[in-house]
Structure 1
């Protein structure tokens, strides 16, 4: 009896292993076309449902259902989702074109997560890793990416047609364009990573390109984090002004919660405003206004709590112009740290990597900054946002110089340390 039980256990374990492998194989070979198309639709529908649910909750919190209808609240949520895709919207004849980048980031996160899951589900299609390394073409990810984009864009078109009215007039073409950009820029890499193709393709790229991309990411992450810290610090130092704004609005608990949610939606926009300020060009909060480290000219402002972070109008303190040196320091530190972890083989390689990564980081920051502004109200509030082109010029210059100096300084230090170590070893041998 004991021998029968002993022999049965390995057999049971073998059957369990085979069943697990079978489930994994079936899970990674789901039909490519419907899986990718449905994944794109779900990536778009997830944030849409969240926006509509939050709109209904906000309607009950602020109005207790006294005015309007649930369908009207759902339409507001759908219009908010469309605005996150650059559609713009008209409210009482006033065109609002600013993009709530907080919602856009939610859509981007949903696209990445769903795209990664779709990639895992279709990873069994196409040639295996050995055949791909041998040069066989693999169209699994491009085809899935196209279908994923199609599913996302179809949802965008349907929402535009159902939620738009003659008075709101969101732009359907902008929604389709943003759908393609999100799906191609975020969904496609997620598909490649989830399917395992990225692990095969990335090592084939030149090491210089990979190291440069990591440095670009380090510069941008460090810089945007610094801009966010500066924004939060300004709000904390002038918190009484924000509280005064809320009190002037006579906001109850529901209204205050809604104001907080709206502030979170535009927090990425405000971070890019802070970035433009630290870089030097600054930004405008209405026609004829200017906020820079060297000059602050303000006019009448809407009652919105996050505007309490604005500096006082008039002459600026003597230390604020020194803030324009922070982008050089950030790029220097990021480049030095990156080259410390991944030393360059030669001086020219270090210089190209550091300066090139700084230039690319400045270009990306300039492009993203262009999305932060737009019309947020009537009259003078139709011109609000950072000066994107000036930010691009300053960022390319500052990040390029900082990245170059950081790379050269770290390379010099590493070579100096190596020379000292070799000199010390030579003295020990002679002694």
Structure 2
């Protein structure tokens, strides 16, 4: 960042910001991937020891399981006794994304002295620093994923190396790339030339999706707390030791973000499936035999209810609140502009929610459990009007609030 802020003609002497771009970016991708992999390996060995004090298997079995779990967070999926398990533990995926972001910031800062400075960028000079660094960062990250898959996989587990590498590249580009741009100072320069309406729509989309996920998380936690006794009963039926129970609970917590997305699908109306032929929606719940898994205690009882359909009023309200909050930082005094910003933000948030729904589900075992997922297309169809209309209403509400001082002066 030093070279971007230095006056024109000033020589750059801070070598900390001019480290070799190829080496720093590629090594950054390797570090971002390997650091979370090492954490998974360590926790897997600890879990293996807690499960039976090391009486069965060997440490390398724990290391292999930890690697497979890390690969599943990158969408590889595995086979367990011939049954496909493709549900990604989004809690672990979020950890990988957070580490990629932090490492990306460091990489961006280290290479910020490369390329043209701010004045030359303003004159239109082309700058390939961030794209090249992002490409090398992605290559380093994907290389670790490919090597881990080749070492841990076998015909019995069959993790998909192709899917894992593609997901790793996507994570490195979508998370590491913006982090590199921010750390290098380029993002601030690019954002300065964006039109204000574009920034306002983006802010509305982020606020609406963020607040909706918060409300979905609250709904899931409330449902789980209301039936916490059932979750405890599930653990009791497993007849596990204290160490095994701690390991099982820790692994279950990695699926809490998945459950939050499922709850968001439920509040919108289409709901989700927990097995083939099942539906969990406000309009009605149809369930079959459920596996012994504590998070499933949050599921509502089978049948219909008079009050649960009213929960579908929450998404438009949340969208309106998010749009109004976003426009406090990007105010406008025009009614039509406020409605347009909120509506477009709601539509973009709906697309983001549908994307999360596609990532949250998958196969969770044999037979009926091959389908455990939100109804992605229905989520998109319901989310666009619900969040879009909420944004259209929330935008003018924020505009009215901004116009109050002027109206008071005229009065």
* TM-score relative to the length of structure 2: 0.95
Asked whether the 8 Å contact 2:76–2:86 carries over to 1, the reply is yes
Partner Cα separation in structure 2 for residue 416 and residue 143 of structure 1: 49
Alignment of 1:214-363 (within 5 A): 214-316=203-305, 318-363=306-351
- Alignment: residue pair count: 402
Which deviates the most, 403-412 or 92-101?
A: 403-412
**Aligned residue runs from structure 1 range 98-109, under 5 A:** 98-109=87-98
Report what 2:4 is aligned to. none
Contact 2:231 2:297 in 1 (8 A): yes
Give the whole-Å Cα distance in 2 for the aligned partners of 1:106 and 1:413: 39
Secondary structure at the aligned position of 2:177 is classed as: helix
Q: Which runs of 4+ in 1 moved over 4 A?
A: none
Contact 2:332/2:402 (8 A) holds in 1: no
Of 383, 387, 393, the residue aligned with 2:381 is 393
Superposed CA deviations along residues 61-83 of structure 1, whole A, max 9, x for unmatched, are 00211111111111111111111
Q: Determine if contact 2:345/2:388 at 8 Å carries over to the other structure.
A: yes
Q: Distance in 1 between matches of 2:356 and 2:221?
A: 20
Structure ranking higher on relative contact order (CA contacts 8 Å, 6+ apart): 2
Summarize deviations over 1:82-101 as a string: whole Å, max 9, x none: 11111110111111111111
1-side partners of 2:345 and 2:101: how far apart?
24
SS at match of 1:370: helix
CA distance in 2, matches of 1:383, 1:294: 20
Provide the secondary structure at the position in 2 that maps to 1:281.
coil
Mapped to 2, the partners of 1:238 and 1:61 lie a distance apart of 28
Aligned mates of 1:300, 1:40 — CA distance in 2: 44
Deviations 1:340-381 (A, max 9, x none): 343214233212211100000001100111111111111001
2:86 is the counterpart of 1:97 = yes
Larger mean CA deviation between 410-419 and 180-189 belongs to 410-419
| Secondary structure of 1:67's aligned partner | coil
2:3 is matched with: none
1:147 aligns with 2:136: yes
> What are the superposed Cα offsets for residues 226-266 of structure 1, whole Å, 9 maximum, x if unpaired?
10011111111111111111111112211111121112110
Could you tell me which residue of structure 2 aligns to residue 411 of structure 1?
Answer: 399
User: What is residue 186 of structure 2 aligned with on the other side?
Assistant: 197
* Structure index of larger Rg: 1
Q: Verify the 8 A CA contact 2:86 2:363 in the aligned structure 1.
A: yes
CA distance in 2, matches of 1:201, 1:339: 21
1:179 aligns with 2:165: no
Equivalence map 1:90-129=2 (5 Å): 90-129=79-118
Matches within 5 A, 1:4-23: none
The CA RMSD over aligned residues, in Å, is 1.6
Secondary structure of the corresponding residue to residue 291 of structure 1: strand
Residue aligning to 2:410 = 422
Question: 2:7 maps to what in 1?
Answer: none
C-alpha separation between the residues in 2 aligned to 1:210 and 1:410?
16
SS in 2 for 1:385: strand
SS at match of 1:123: coil
1:404 positional shift: 0.3
After superposition, give the CA deviation of every residue in 1:23-80 in whole Å (9 maximum; x if it has no partner). 9812111111011000001111111111111111000000211111111111111111
Match of 1:18 in 2: none
Q: Which runs of 5+ in 1 are unaligned?
A: 1-21, 424-431
CA contact 2:18–2:114 (8 Å) conserved in 1: yes
**Gap change, CA 1:206 and 1:160, over 3 Å in 2:** same
Partner of 1:72: 61
C-alpha separation in 1, matches of 2:13 and 2:218 = 44
C-alpha separation in 1, matches of 2:14 and 2:242 = 52
Range that drifts further, 94-103 or 413-422: 413-422
Aligned equivalents of 1:189, 1:342: Cα separation in 2:
22
2:240 is paired with a residue of what secondary structure? coil
1:59 to 27, 45, 48: 48
